[in-house]
A and B are shown apart, each in its own frame.
Chain A
Amino acid sequence: MADMTPTAPTRPRSLVIASAFGTAAVLAYFGGLFGIYFSIRADAMAWGTRWFPEGAIELAPGGMNMATMAVSAVTMGWAVHSVLNDDRVHAYLAIVLTAVMGIAMINQTAFYIADIGLPIDTSQATTLMFVIVGSHLVMVSVGVLWLGLLLLRALGGQDTSRHRDLVSAAALYWYAVTAIYAVIWIGIYIAK
């Protein structure tokens, strides 16, 4: 066994590393779903089968959501920058804006899913779409809750340039949320 002598200080940024592992696991989860989705879709296309019914998937809701998520990634970066510079007012503003855009995205997706008129058991395509989009909604919801926690800590003066791990970890996760939505937007809403 290697040297057993413990040392007092641990390496910094353990929260960021743990979040990176967690985010990687989430990416692997969606990687699995996307792999299944695109594999079955490719087979269906090869056989000349229609994947979604004609006109069922509209471009506008997905595009609006993508724009919302893209802007939220920018505001998330703004939050990190503000915390690094101990700019508390801008940090509050950026965190709230990011969370609001996350909630807007959830609202818009929920409305669209209710409005789409495709029951989940219509076909393999709809089952997969609902699972992927639903999983992403859960991911966004977790992110919004995380941002709420971050805001509470910021209000308590605990998110500073010296204690920036939580905001860095949240940002890492949020960028992954945005990246995954980009794949959903291209793979489901655009490619249909």
Chain B
Amino acid sequence: MTTTDSDGSSTAVEEAITSTDPVTLSKVWGMGGMTAVLVGLVAGLLVSLERLDLESAGIFGSGDELFQFWSAHRVALVLLGVLPILVALGTTIVPKQCGANTLLFPRAAAFACWTWLIGAGMTVVGFLVDGGLGTPDGGGQRQATALTLMGILLVIGGLMVATMCILSTILSGRAAGMGLGDIGYLSWTTLVSGTIWLGMLPVLAANAVLAYVDLRGRPAVRFGAEDAIWEQLSWVFTHPAIYLLALPVLGIALDVISSATGSEPANRGVLLVSTAAFGFLSFGAYAQTFFDTPGTPIMEEAIYVLAAFAIVPVALVVLGGVLDLLRRGGSDLGSSAPAPVALSVIAVLLTVAGTVLGALRVVAPWDLLETSVTGAHFTLVVGAAIIGSVAGLSHWGEDLLGSPGFPGLMLLGGLAAALGVALIGAADAVSGFLGQADFTGVDLATAGYPDSATGALNTVSTLGAAAFLIAGLIWMVGGVRHLAADSEGAG
């Protein structure tokens, strides 16, 4: 283990904090990310339960409290959950795929990891003490909102520095003679998505800084107003930016299935170009509805609509590559596919379903942009990203922790997650077509006066949220047992 000061007398905690070993950092990223996913799923279930009665507040005291949990659900899954898990894989697996000795700039990587962890803690605390990212009726605590924004900024900073380390390793640290076209699919998709992250996360930071500066110390001019903060940051949690979470998952799926079947995709070049196109179509920093010019909303602009449709065939090309791999090497899998392969296939299918729903969402006559179709789209894409990330953690578990872990638990959790994501996605999508708003609030007006059938659909969606949470718990148990087994082995 590479540590800054490991004289044999330091405790495990000291070693963990001072370590620059990529495997140790990956454990922090991975467990931190999985914990955040669990927190996000709990928030999601509570919001779903509240939605069972659209006319009044049942679990939460007010619409503002509901909004805090609703927004916390999305923040926890994206910035505190999926992205860190992908960084965990990028920190350990990408250097190996590139033939690099180790991750470049290990101290910067450690700094990024702890910065993110502290920021994640501040963000969660900010939400819990009546802060969050603003509220529709301005009922939150300004100081707590400022704390949340500061936490988000640290999270963004940590993620960006970690991404820089990973990208530098791919570009500058890979083995001599290895071209960018020769690296593994995870490394390639991490290179593409990391580059786009570095274009989008700073813009999100700019939004957060603007809101923070305006929020502090005096009545807000505009950007720091309680009811305006979420809309400035919400672009990162919807089309097209949300697709960037699924891109490394496509790389994971191609690597996992290629490894399991022992065959290479027939059209590697096409897959590299397709995944790159998927990444560039995911650039979403321009899609900020808060700054819409009156009369020309960005969500109705050609670039936004075109990107939503163009990404569908691109995702289908990747699905074709996955199916081609399974067709040519499926016989080598035996009667039951390994857990990572099954999870990878599920993740790719959910990604494709997400892109299709994303395209339907922008069809202007249906007027779905503000409906729960947006939530269904988020769940499908982020659910795919979570399931695919777990597939990656399971596939490379031995590289991360020295033992293969508990693939049965991972598969069980994956199946529960797939069921949950499918239920939420289908129910919320139909509810959206029936007029239910994305954020339903605690009264029918905020919910958009939806059709009465949404009551049953919301029950289905709640069952899905419960299944997704159970999946998260199963994965957490599997992860903790894997870590414990690793510690005992090391001892």
Q: Chain A: residues with CB nearer than 8 A to chain B?
A: 1-14, 17-18, 21-22, 24-26, 28-33, 35-36, 39-40, 42-43, 120-121, 123-124, 127-128, 130-131, 134-135
- B219 cross-chain contacts in A, Cβ below 8 A: 121
Chain B residues within an 8 Å CB radius of A33: 206, 210
Question: 18 extra interchain contacts, Cβ-Cβ under 8 A, other than A13-B172, A31-B202?
Answer: A2-B99, A2-B187, A4-B99, A6-B99, A6-B175, A7-B99, A8-B101, A9-B176, A14-B104, A14-B105, A21-B164, A21-B198, A25-B199, A25-B201, A29-B206, A32-B203, A121-B214, A134-B213
**Assuming A25-B160, A26-B202, is B168 touching A1 (CB within 8 A)?**
no
Interface size on B, residues (CB 8 A): 54
B316 within 8 A of A: no
Min CB distance A11 to B, Å, is: 5
Write out the residue numbers on chain B whose beta carbons fall within 8 Å of the beta carbon of A131. Answer: 209-210, 213
Q: Tell me the B227-264 residues at the A interface (CB within 8 Å).
A: 255, 259
Closest chain A residue to B188, Cβ basis:
A2
Q: Please name all residues of chain B whose beta carbon is closer than 8 Å to the beta carbon of A5 when the two chains form the complex.
A: 99, 175
A26 to nearest B CB, angstroms? Answer: 7
Stretch at the interface among B10-18, B65-73, B177-185, B464-472: B177-185
Name the 10 nearest CB pairs between A and B, nearest first.
A32-B203, A32-B206, A29-B202, A14-B172, A28-B202, A18-B168, A21-B164, A7-B175, A11-B172, A17-B172
Q: How far is the CA of A121 from the CA of B214 in the complex (A)?
A: 8
Annotate B200-225 by CB proximity to A: 1 below 8 A, 0 otherwise: 11111111011001100011111100
- Complex Cα gap A127–B104 (Å): 39
Pick from B167, B174, B259: contact of A21, CB below 8 A.
B167
Residue positions of B touching A, CB distance < 8 A = 96-101, 104-105, 108, 160, 163-165, 167-168, 171-176, 178, 182-184, 187, 198-207, 209-210, 213-214, 218-223, 255, 259, 285-286, 288, 291, 293-294
B227 CB to closest chain A CB (Å) equals: 16
CB of B209 within 8 A of CB of A39, answer no
CB of A14 within 8 A of CB of B210, answer no
| Residue pair B168, A127 in contact (C-beta under 8 Å) | no
B291→A39 contact, CB < 8 A: yes
Which residue, of A10, A40, A42, has the highest number of chain B Cβ atoms within 10 A? A10
A7 touches B222 (CB 8 A): no
The residue that B200 contacts in the complex, of A2, A3, A28, A134, with Cβ under 8 A, is A28
CB pair A1 B101 closer than 8 Å: no
B contact residues around A14 at 8 Å (CB)? 104-105, 168, 172-173
| Chain A residues whose CB sits within 8 angstroms of the CB of B160 once the complex forms | 25
Closest A residue by C-beta to B232: A36
In the assembly, what is the distance between CA of A8 and CA of B100, in Å? 8
CB A121 to nearest CB in B, in angstroms, measures: 5
Chosen A-B contacts, 27 in total, with CB atoms closer than 8 Å, are A1-B259, A2-B182, A5-B175, A6-B99, A6-B101, A6-B175, A7-B175, A10-B100, A10-B172, A18-B108, A18-B164, A18-B165, A21-B164, A21-B167, A28-B285, A29-B203, A29-B205, A30-B206, A31-B202, A120-B213, A121-B214, A121-B218, A121-B219, A121-B220, A124-B222, A127-B210, A127-B214
Chain B residues, Cβ within 8 Å of A4: 96-97, 99
List B contacts of A7 (CB < 8 A).
99, 101, 175-176
Tell me whether A1 and B96 are in contact (CB under 8 A). Answer: yes
Complex Cα–Cα for A12 and B171 (A): 10
Kindly provide the distance from the CB of B436 to the nearest chain A CB, expressed in whole angstroms: 31
Contact yes or no, A123 B210, CB < 8 A: no
For B293, the chain A residues whose CB sits under 8 A away are: 39, 42-43
